[in-house]
Amino acid sequence: MPIIQLLFFFIIIIPSAIIHEYAHGWAADVLGDPTARNAGRLTLNPKAHIDPFGTLLMPILLLLFSGGTFMFAYAKPVPYNPFNLKNIKRDPALVAAAGPASNLFVALVCALLVRFLPVSNFTAVLSLVVYANILLAIFNLVPIPPLDGSKILYALIPNTPQGLRIKITLERYGFFILLIFVFFFFQLISPIIFWIYKLFVGTSLFG
């Protein structure tokens, strides 16, 4: 990805991450938990969501250490209390899924614009918006804590002693497993990201 595209990607992925976190808070609020609203996080104002490490420093470090091949960012996680939700088993998964769903929605809307507008610098930027939001969605669906996919996985794991041990193990070692995944196994989801991108836009990002 050329340096200009990387710079635009950095600018794009921050508001995409903010939309992602807003969606979590909105879903929790709809399902009965007003924690995010009470904390002033049901807003798209960047000041309420920017995390100094996850939104600013980490993307730069990943870009440098990956030799310009990978960048990712996250916004400050929106707080919520699962015990306020209407269904303690199901609703945490719905709250978790709302973030990736919001990114896929943004990607789809921008992809439609790319398909129907004349090719220009504007559509090139829109194509990066599509890619950034698909990346956020698919990466967050990986079932490793603290990613959203782990909350969805927990809703599917039965409440048995064995299921509880799986959850405890994932929570205890999730961060280290995630680091290993990012640096050594990210290529496993890259084909999925590019397949969805081509499905939405109809062309290759780098073609």
**Res. 125: pLDDT tops 90:** no
Tell me the domain boundaries of the chain.
3-201
- Number of C-beta neighbours around residue 158 at 10 A: 9
- Separation CA 57–CA 64 (nearest Å): 11
Contact 82, 60 (CB under 8 A): no
- Separation CA 103–CA 99 (nearest Å): 7
What is the pLDDT, as a whole number, of residue 57?
Answer: 83
Q: What is the pLDDT of residues 153-175, one digit of tens each?
A: 999 999 899 999 999 999 999 98
Q: Is the model more confident about 10 or about 31?
A: 31
**Res. 14: pLDDT tops 80:** yes
Mean pLDDT on 89-105: 96
What is the pLDDT, as a whole number, of residue 6?
Answer: 67
Both tokens assigned to 166: 């799986």
Q: What's CA 22's distance to the chain center, in Å?
A: 11
What is the pLDDT, as a whole number, of residue 4?
Answer: 64
What is the pLDDT, as a whole number, of residue 94?
Answer: 97
The pLDDT confidence band at residue 117, using thresholds 50, 70 and 90, is: very high
- Separation CA 195–CA 63 (nearest Å): 23
- Number of C-beta neighbours around residue 64 at 10 A: 10
What is the pLDDT, as a whole number, of residue 101?
Answer: 98
